[in-house]
Structure 1
Amino acid sequence: MNPNILHKFCRETKHHLKTLFCLTFLGLLTGLPSDLKAQTAAFYFSEGMEQLRLGDAEGASEAFRLSLEQNEAQPEAWRHLGISLLQLEAFWEAAKAAEQGLVHQPGSLPLLALRAQSLYHIDPKLALPAYEEAAEAARRHPDPAAAGITPAQMEALLGMLYEEIAGIRYESGDREGASEALRKARTLNADRFNVHNNLAYILMEAGQYAQAFEALEEGLARFPDHPDLLLMQANILGEQGEAEASVQVLERLHRAEPQNVNISIAYGRALLFNNEAVKANEHFQQMLALHPEERRYYRTLIDINRMRSNFRGLHAVLERKVAQFPDDEALARELAESFLTISEFETAHQQFDSLSVLLSDAELARRAAHALLFGDHNEEAVSYYQEISTRFPQAAVLKREHTRVLLELDRPEQARAVFTQLPESEQTGLLLALISRTEPDEDSRNVWRSRAAQTAWAPLSDWYAMQERAAEGQIYSEPELSSLTNRLLRYYRDQQRMVSGQVEVMLEQQAQEHPMPPPLREADQLRFLTEALTGITAFVRKQTSAETAQAYFDALLSQWPDSPLLYEAYANWLERRNSPDAAITALRQAVQLGARGPEVHHRMGILFEQSGEYMEAALAYERALSEDSRYSAAYRSLIRLSERETDPALSLEQLADRWYARFQNNAGNDMLREYLIETLHKSGQTARAREVTRR
């Protein structure tokens, strides 16, 4: 015991000690040690209670310990020791005191409550069984009021503990456990709003809409006008396809709380999903007029237009938002990007360039260059890349893109000059392979290729070298050709997976709202590998015997049975071998494996024509147009086929009618318009031809 506390304790109780000494002496004389212990225990207990009353928890705990040393069979002493330890935040000791008390008075409601409270301060999860036991004891107690704790009080505490446990489980990702705890809390504290709200939210988040709706109905029975519950109810109705019912709930809410932005936004979205786009637009325009400073209205309109791919509408909202918040740099960037999406490339360039100067930002300057490329202002783009590379000398990406653009424009000397300004660590394998082809002498080419050979693009560089040596007369064996083809296919597969992964992440937003000009797209890298694979298979076809070529394709197809590119090459070889049926089979396999683009379907159409399957040919040409509605070769092939065939289903009249119906929904397709007019004239439908011409 602390000497100072003992001194204080003894000083304050001097007269009690005199009495104790007298009693001790009397006890010694009369030989009643047990009575003396009881009296000593009672004295210390009384002192402990007095110290608790005075707020001295430490002194109280010492007194209760002294009392229990005299007589440990005192449940009340153990309880009050626990209370004093709780005040001292000695929670484990308090819980142990409660346990000791329960040894002497099993089922004591105050001791059970003390143990539960002590454990709660250590860990709510540890306290849960203790609170459950205490609540059950309160329900069974013949006179809980006399014990100072009613069943209602214990159940309320237990219910709140279940809520806390639900929060812990939710944070750990245990949604099912959280909802189970909230259901138990609801049976105990049904008048607490948070129980209903949180249970419905967790169930809705888990996609358990029917259960969430039931939870909301129970909550709304007690809180019929609470906006949070009604808002969730409207969301669930919308998720379940009951858009009209969702609108009705939200309209009621919006009228009740017109200043609540969350409700207002939800109401506008519900109108949109209920195919009331005009009303939704009017609603948001009205809200913006009333609250032009509320950014969430602008962002919601932007998101809605993005979702509907209405980029002009998105742009209009951004312009309005920028006018309201002219100093928002991120918003200014977003507006500049939107000029690209609506094909106003010159304005986009000006916006990006101004921002890049204002903010000294290389990425914005890069986007300004992209705008020039999108607008086919290639000369200006070349000059601008030179300018911004000087302005931002550390931005290696500018020089890499500058090199790519110069290579696309067939300016090899300029491309090499820019590329050599890059540190070797910033020179990519693809550019090393491409630059190697621009060198006039073999030694220089080999220097670039030796470096490309150390990158993942080594197969492409090796193919370029093989082309050159074959042109000089070198003969390659089938194993050598197969080995290089395998390496090209492997790297093509890896690049395709990488590009596909990027597309999945950013297709809707990044690819549409932050577009890249064709020469600079990641997917464009596949073009070089495709050309290489097409080239090497053509090389095999020309330079080897039919038996060697067949063995080459058989071996590769057994290794790469899922390669559409390889099946296309095989079809090309079969076509040259005058085997149209086998070539069609190979092309069909390529399409099933994911071959895309109008060319594969157009080739299939030509092969069907060669086999006399004219209806199949027409269908293949139409599939080519479904891949690219501006693919001129398919239009010409269909017109040629219809002019030649006598089958009524393939007549020019049928073709003209089909294209005319398509034109009604796609009047902006100039290629369709041009060939439709030609077909209408050839089929004698001059009135329709004049009508289309005037549109």
Structure 2
Amino acid sequence: MALLVPAGSGASAVPAVVEAYIHQREGNAEAALDALERALDEDPSSAFLRAEIARTLGRERRYDEALAVVSEGLSVRPDHPDLLLLRAQLLQVLGRSEEAAEAASRAAQAGAGDRAYDLAVRIRESLGQVDEALELARAWAEASGSADAWFARGRLLGRAGRTDEARTALRRALDKDPNHRAALRALAGLEAEAGNAAQAEGLYRRVIEVNPHDVEARFRLGQVLLKQGRVDEALEVFEAAERWSGGDPTLRFRLGVLLLQEDRPAEAETVFRTMAQAHADDPRAWYLLGVSLLAQEKYAEALDALGRVPESAEEYPDALVRRAIALDSLDRADEARKLLEGWLADHPDDEEVTLALVGFWEDRGEFRKGVEVLERYLADHPTRNSRVYFTLGVLYDKLKDWAKSVEAMKRALELNPDDPYALNYLGYTYAEQGIHLDEAERLLLKALDLKPGDGFITDSLGWVYYKQGRYEEAADTLRKALEAQPEDPVIWEHLGDALVRLGRDEDAAEAYRKALEFAPDSESVRGKLEALE
């Protein structure tokens, strides 16, 4: 509570306000409220006193009462900025976000300043109303030009994917306040995402210089260094972050996971082995140790680590699948199968383990058994997981049952219309069958929009062009596919076929020779080459 009463408050109210302040310091909210009520009797038009009563009620979590007091004040002073801001804060606490956003905007327009704008922007952002939040941030920046305003605008522009504008706004924030940590971190994040490692590194170091306690900035700096392959420097930064955090074990886990993501399983193993030894009862440590060992093909050690994950742990089903992989890799396939089947006997609704068992049969060329597992699962467990139908479609394709493969792929796309792999599979299947070629082209162009430059999808599109008789386009497209997948024999064969149609037999023969270089046992390609020679 403020001790000084603003000018305009009745002088007779001052003793009661001072008394309320003393009671507030003593923690006696009821006595403070009683004194403030007496002060309000002396000065009934005081917005200041109503705001103090509302704040005191709010501290006691009597939010509805506080809001009623503020509303009474606004009936007399409808444009009072402090009351409007207080109303917005109370409405937010009560979960009435839309009303809170409107009240905060009114408070900002009435002159409540940065706090009102900031609240209005954050509420709109939390409601997913990014455009509205951006407009508020623009108005805020024009009204005050503060670093916080430009930071809010930059953060929102980044969220909207308008990266260049976001950078500009964040730099404006830093022009206003070179030590604005949030703007420094946000700009560093944008540069890191864009692959501008040097800029990101410099910005994160600046954040740490401004606030050495910023553990998250240290972790992000380590991440940037790790992506550059500067492992020793990164580990030093991570160790410093851990020291500044007071030994927070979650940082160790995050480091280990990051090392796994960066395909550094040996370093991850070191991290998780230390964690497992220090926290032997933590299943996450054993699980992640097992993952890092499995990635290094240390199957026996991985089997031991994963076996220490108890069945009660959240990680257990995935640990079980990885145990099966380790067993299979140790030529203990029967044990792997029994492990998966045993779990499914008691947990028939476990979709991930079901898919693992399907993968077990697929790896052995037992496609029919894989289909039986999935069909049995789908009969009892309707799913929204497109991957289940995609897997089923692949198995039917390998069984050369193209009608059922197409049916499954269509179902996968109903569940996930933007799955580039299902789009590619269906498009290529149509091309192979020489049917629905216009539809195949549409599917594959969409797949390429989702995964630009993908060599296999580009090959499928080139093959559609070939089937349509558009041989020049086919050859050009297949060459683009080879830029991404220069050692794929199928793409070289497809290119050879297109070149034959164009009458360029010498170039076609060279393409077939490249296909044989990568698939020397291909009788189909050998026959085509012999026909040209």
- Tell me the TM-score normalised to structure 2 length: 0.59
Distance 2:412 2:456 in 1: 22
Does the C-alpha gap of structure 1 residues 384 and 533 become closer, same or farther in structure 2, counting only changes over 3 Å?
Answer: same
| Match of residue 529 from structure 1 | 392
Worse overlay, 342-351 or 608-617: 608-617
- Does residue 582 (structure 1) correspond to residue 503 (structure 2)? The answer is no
| Match of residue 24 from structure 1 | none
- Does residue 241 (structure 1) correspond to residue 165 (structure 2)? The answer is yes
**Any idea what SS the aligned residue of 2:165 has?**
coil
What do residues 125-165 of structure 1 show as CA deviations (whole Å, max 9, x unaligned)? Answer: 434564345459xxxxxxxxxxxxxxxxxx8xx44322211
Following superposition, the deviation at residue 300 of structure 1 comes to 4.4
Following superposition, the deviation at residue 295 of structure 1 comes to 1.7
From 96, 113, 138, the counterpart of 1:213: 138
Following superposition, the deviation at residue 355 of structure 1 comes to 2.3
Matches of residues 2-401 of structure 1 in structure 2 within 5 Å?
A: 87=34, 123-127=65-69, 130-132=72-74, 134-135=76-77, 158-172=80-94, 174=96, 177-182=99-104, 184-185=106-107, 190=111, 194-195=115-116, 198=119, 207=130, 208-219=133-144, 228=148, 231-232=151-152, 241=165, 243-244=167-168, 246-254=170-178, 258=179, 261-262=181-182, 264-265=184-185, 278-285=198-205, 288=208, 293-301=213-221, 305=224, 310=227, 312=229, 316-323=233-240, 325=242, 327-360=247-280, 361-375=282-296, 377=297, 380-381=298-299, 383-388=300-305, 391-392=308-309, 394=311, 396-397=316-317, 398-401=319-322
Kept in 2: contact 1:413–1:438 (CA 8 A): no
Following superposition, the deviation at residue 356 of structure 1 comes to 1.9
| Match of residue 524 from structure 2 | none
Distance 2:348 2:196 in 1: 54
Distance 1:315 1:294 in 2: 21
Does the C-alpha gap of structure 1 residues 614 and 200 become closer, same or farther in structure 2, counting only changes over 3 Å?
Answer: closer
Does the C-alpha gap of structure 1 residues 489 and 316 become closer, same or farther in structure 2, counting only changes over 3 Å?
Answer: farther
- Does residue 617 (structure 1) correspond to residue 474 (structure 2)? The answer is yes
- Amino acid paired to 1:339: L
Distance 2:116 2:141 in 1: 10
- Does residue 636 (structure 1) correspond to residue 484 (structure 2)? The answer is no
**Any idea what SS the aligned residue of 1:170 has?**
helix
Following superposition, the deviation at residue 402 of structure 1 comes to 1.8
Query: What value does the CA root-mean-square deviation take over the aligned residues?
Result: 5.9
Distance 1:266 1:558 in 2: 41
Distance 1:173 1:629 in 2: 54
Following superposition, the deviation at residue 645 of structure 1 comes to 6.3
| Match of residue 494 from structure 1 | 384
Distance 2:221 2:444 in 1: 39
Gaps of 5+ in 2: 1-14, 17-30, 58-63, 362-366, 519-533
| Match of residue 415 from structure 1 | 336
What do residues 211-257 of structure 1 show as CA deviations (whole Å, max 9, x unaligned)? Answer: 4333344346xxxxx65456557667887817446425414412xxx
What do residues 611-660 of structure 1 show as CA deviations (whole Å, max 9, x unaligned)? Answer: 7542243255356557x635612452266357746678x9959x99xxxx
Kept in 1: contact 2:409–2:426 (CA 8 A): no
What do residues 580-611 of structure 1 show as CA deviations (whole Å, max 9, x unaligned)? Answer: 64264564465478699866764665576577
Distance 1:294 1:553 in 2: 53
- Tell me the TM-score normalised to structure 1 length: 0.48
Kept in 2: contact 1:336–1:351 (CA 8 A): yes
Distance 2:407 2:498 in 1: 41
- Amino acid paired to 2:346: S
- Amino acid paired to 1:534: D
Matches of residues 544-555 of structure 1 in structure 2 within 5 Å?
A: none
Distance 2:383 2:490 in 1: 29
Does the C-alpha gap of structure 1 residues 411 and 611 become closer, same or farther in structure 2, counting only changes over 3 Å?
Answer: farther
Distance 1:610 1:423 in 2: 44
Kept in 2: contact 1:534–1:569 (CA 8 A): no
Kept in 1: contact 2:104–2:116 (CA 8 A): yes
Following superposition, the deviation at residue 373 of structure 1 comes to 3.4
What do residues 265-306 of structure 1 show as CA deviations (whole Å, max 9, x unaligned)? Answer: 457568879998645533543664686554243144357x49
Kept in 1: contact 2:87–2:103 (CA 8 A): yes
Does the C-alpha gap of structure 1 residues 404 and 183 become closer, same or farther in structure 2, counting only changes over 3 Å?
Answer: closer
Does the C-alpha gap of structure 1 residues 297 and 631 become closer, same or farther in structure 2, counting only changes over 3 Å?
Answer: same
Distance 1:638 1:554 in 2: 22
Following superposition, the deviation at residue 169 of structure 1 comes to 2.7
Distance 1:574 1:204 in 2: 46
Distance 1:493 1:366 in 2: 27
Distance 1:186 1:572 in 2: 59
Percentage of matched positions with identical amino acids: 14
| Match of residue 403 from structure 1 | 324
Q: Over alpha carbons, which structure has the higher Rg?
A: 1
**Aligned length in residues:** 445
**Any idea what SS the aligned residue of 1:343 has?**
coil
What do residues 466-512 of structure 1 show as CA deviations (whole Å, max 9, x unaligned)? Answer: xxxxxxxxxxxxxxxxxx9899699797331xxxxxxxxxxxxxxxx
Does the C-alpha gap of structure 1 residues 179 and 339 become closer, same or farther in structure 2, counting only changes over 3 Å?
Answer: closer
Distance 2:459 2:92 in 1: 56
**Any idea what SS the aligned residue of 1:582 has?**
coil
**Any idea what SS the aligned residue of 2:435 has?**
helix
Does the C-alpha gap of structure 1 residues 215 and 573 become closer, same or farther in structure 2, counting only changes over 3 Å?
Answer: closer
Kept in 2: contact 1:230–1:253 (CA 8 A): no
Distance 2:360 2:498 in 1: 46
Following superposition, the deviation at residue 384 of structure 1 comes to 2.0
Distance 2:71 2:360 in 1: 79
- Amino acid paired to 2:492: R
| Match of residue 23 from structure 2 | none
Distance 2:153 2:473 in 1: 53
- Amino acid paired to 1:334: R
| Match of residue 346 from structure 2 | 425
Does the C-alpha gap of structure 1 residues 384 and 295 become closer, same or farther in structure 2, counting only changes over 3 Å?
Answer: same
What do residues 180-217 of structure 1 show as CA deviations (whole Å, max 9, x unaligned)? Answer: 434554676x4876456545666787544344333344
Following superposition, the deviation at residue 533 of structure 1 comes to 2.5
Distance 2:321 2:502 in 1: 56
Kept in 1: contact 2:88–2:104 (CA 8 A): yes
Gaps of 5+ in 1: 1-51, 54-83, 99-108, 137-154, 221-225, 440-458, 466-483, 497-522, 542-548, 657-670, 676-695
Does the C-alpha gap of structure 1 residues 231 and 652 become closer, same or farther in structure 2, counting only changes over 3 Å?
Answer: same
